[in-house]
Structures are given as structure tokens and as C-alpha cells.
Structure 1
Amino acid sequence: MPKRVTIVDYGIGNIFSVTRAFQHCGAEVLLTDNPRDILEASSLVLPGVGAFSNGMDGLRQRSLIDPLQEYAASGRPMLGICLGMQMLFSESTEFGIHAGLNIIEGKIHPIHSQVIEGKHLKVPHIGWGVLQSAEEASWDNTILNRLDIGDSCYFVHSFMAVPDNPKYRLADTKYGSVNICATVAKGNIYGCQFHPEKSGLVGLNIIRGFLEI
């Protein structure tokens, strides 16, 4: 029997490519902006692209903030993707100070431009990034359990998450000299800064790993 996944539609994000990726992996998908659907979900995905404040405004306008926080406390699996991962955090400094969902304690900070060996690394960070295990992190029994260290995923972002507790970092990637938090895990809550739905077989294996949680 296919696993049912509820994907949050709050008017911003690449919801259709995320939906197709989960369906490709055998999931039955409900795309919704209904608070009751979120509270009753057995497995929940919060996608997103764009600015942090716009994303939070989209959630607020649809009265989804309290249901998302209540769902996260339920022990059921939840996955934030790109902006969706960032909104799981307490606060963002993108275009001002904005409160997030505060499901994972920490802040969203800008990626600063760099010059490495005379080469200017532009922001946003766009392209494939190699995943490395964060310090003391194990990928066993997580959404990354089908992956190998050194697999690559597709990133598009100008801001990065910094968890208050480093134990929440599951995988990192390097952009120049900057160590970027690529995947977070706090109990039943997961987040990917990259786009698994745009990351080929590696990304599909992450989705399969989430469906197995």
C-alpha cells in the first residue's frame, strides 16, 4: 500500500516538481493548504523557494503556523526543502529580522561572497554540492541512509542555516571555504537545503529514505 504524504501548498515554491518526485517514488500525495489536513497528516513535506519573509507570510495568511508547529511536536515525520528547511528555524536575517517556525533552534544567515585563489565565488550558491557527514553524525536510519558520503545534490540559495545545537547537523557541503549545513535532523524533523527533487537518483533516494521513516 503506498504511503500517503501531505505536501503544504502556501502559494510559494516548486510544489509540482516535489509532488512528481514523491509520486515517482510510489507515494500517494495530498497537496493542500488546509490546516486540518496538516494536523491529520501521517507524513508532511514543507517545500519552498524564494525569500524567507514571503514564505512565512504565505503560511501566516493561511493560518498554517500553529498547525505546522503542532504537527512537528507530534512525533510524525516532517521534511523541509530549501526555503521550507530554513523556515523550520527560529529566525532569519534575510532582508531584516524575521521569526520562523522555531521548530529547530537556530538562525538563517547570509552566505558571504568569497575570493578563493583569485576566483570570485558568487552568491547565490547555485550548482552541485558534495555531501559530507557532519561531525559525529550518523546517516543510519535517517533520510540519508541510502546515500554514500561524497554523493552530490543540487543547491540554489543565498542564505544558510546555523543550528544552535551542532548535533542537529546531519550533512554539510563546502562552498569555497564556507561549511554549509546541507541536511538537518531533530528527532522526526528533517530539512534539506538542497533540492532532492532536482538531484537525480541521489535525490530520489533521499525521498525514499524519508518515506521509510
Structure 2
Amino acid sequence: MIAIIDYDMGNLRSVQKGFERIGHNSIITRNPKDISNASHVVLPGVGAFKDCMDNLRNYGLVEPILNVIKSGKPFLGICLGLQLLFSEGEEFGRHKGLDVIKGKVVRFPSELRTLPLQVLSRGQNLAPANSQIKDFEDKLKIPHMGWNDIKIERRPPALSDIQDGSYVYFVHSYYVVPEDKAVAATKTNYGIDFVSSIWKDNIFACQFHPEKSQKIGLKILKNFGDTRG
């Protein structure tokens, strides 16, 4: 059974539906016993870094999360669930995270530039047909929202049979900067190259949303669910 951690941050049902579609049973829970007894654990999240950490503490979920990670069970972080694993976040001040992965979470620079073919929305070029490249460069927005590709640096079980350059769905204004660059599993370009997923021991965590990434995302969820601890 897969435990999806409920701490009142994010659309947990969409994650559960993703697992249902590929035949894996899951429960949405904040019960430490359920989390401890699960075969796999998922930490999703949408919202502000500090608010999410406050909720994890208030619900008494920090210790169960750290314990299940130490146990070696497959652990998946999604979006803010990736960021919370890091030492600290810089959203609205500096706030301590779970400190499982040494590093920090920082905001995208205010001015981002890229070439038209590097950023896609629903698989389509964002640049109007009559636009100049420079005009399009100046229009990159924060948050980074829509479809973008992943460049595979290392291949954890969750990325088995996932093609390099596959497109997945992002919604975020902050990105992770690990101290140990070797934990990066994928990188993505949005004006700058950033780490879009990490892999360390039993942990795979991604900035993108596999539950919103159609066939590629469902394959990632299936790979995770099939992973043995």
C-alpha cells in the first residue's frame, strides 16, 4: 500500500487518481501508523515552503517522514515535496526544511531568457509566429508553468524506460540547489538550467508533477510503485 501524506497542502486526490490509473492501491493519510506500515510513501505539496513545514510540524509528521526515509522504503517527493526535503527555503524569508538533502531552495531570477524552442506549453511553441526572439525572451514569466523537457543525468528506478528529453508538467517559482551536485537525476532549462529531480538512496523527488504529465508521468508513478524497498 502506498501512503500519500496529507498535511492540508495540495491536491492529493489527483496523485491518488494517478496511482489508481496504473493499478496501485494508495491511501491519503496523516496517521503515523499508516505511514510507517506503508510499502511506499509519497510527499506531495503545493503552497508556501514555511506554511508546509508548519503543517508538517503541527500534525506531528516530521518524525514519521524521517523514520520512513531512514527505513529504506521507496519515497517520492512531488513539487514542494521535493523542496521540503532540503535544508532550507528562501520563500518569504529563510526557513528550515527537513534537511534530508543538504542544500537550499531559491527563487528563479527576475529576468529569465530562453530561445523559443526551449520552452513549450502543451507541446506547442509559445512564441507567436511574428515575434522576434528577443521579444519572446523578455516574456518569460515566473512561475515556470507548463510543459518542459527533462535531461536525464542519472537513471533511478522511477525513470526506467523514460526517454531523455521527455516533456513533463511544471508549476513553480522556486527551484532546488543541492550541495552535492551528484544527487541530480534530471535537469531542465527555463532561462537557466536547474535540477528538476533528485535521487538519493531510496528517495526520488521531482519538481514536476507526474500526476499531471500524462503517459510519461503515469509511467514514472508506475515505476515508483513497482520499486522494491
- Is 1:84–2:81 an aligned residue pair? yes
Counterpart of 2:129 in structure 1 is none
1:151 to 155, 162, 166: 166
Counterpart of 1:196 in structure 2 is 210
1:41: Cα distance to partner? 1.8
1:133: Cα distance to partner? 1.7
Counterpart of 2:119 in structure 1 is none
Matched position secondary structure for 1:122: coil
CA distance in 2, matches of 1:147, 1:113: 32
| Higher share of residues assigned helix | 2
Give, as a single letter, the amino acid of the residue that structure 2 aligns with 1:161. Answer: V
1:34: Cα distance to partner? 0.8
The runs of 5 or more residues in structure 2 that have no matched partner are 114-133
Matched position secondary structure for 2:42: strand
Answer yes or no: is the 8 Å Cα contact 1:146–1:206 preserved in 2.
no
Counterpart of 1:131 in structure 2 is 150
CA distance in 1, matches of 2:29, 2:161: 29
1:115: Cα distance to partner? 4.7
Give, as a single letter, the amino acid of the residue that structure 2 aligns with 1:77. Answer: P
Mark the structure with the bigger radius of gyration. Answer: 2
Relative to structure 1, is the Cα distance of residues 103 and 115 closer, same or farther in structure 2, using a 3 angstrom cutoff? closer
Matched position secondary structure for 2:205: strand
Q: TM-score, normalized by length of structure 2? A: 0.87
CA distance in 1, matches of 2:87, 2:169: 25
Q: TM-score, normalized by length of structure 1? A: 0.93
CA distance in 1, matches of 2:51, 2:161: 33
1:114: Cα distance to partner? 2.3
> Deviations 1:99-121 (Å, cap 9, x if unpaired)?
11111111101111325334221
The runs of 5 or more residues in structure 1 that have no matched partner are none
For the aligned residue pairs, the C-alpha RMSD in angstroms reads: 1.1
Matches within 5 A, 1:1-213: 4-116=1-113, 117-118=134-135, 119-120=137-138, 121-134=140-153, 137=154, 139=155, 141-176=156-191, 178-213=192-227
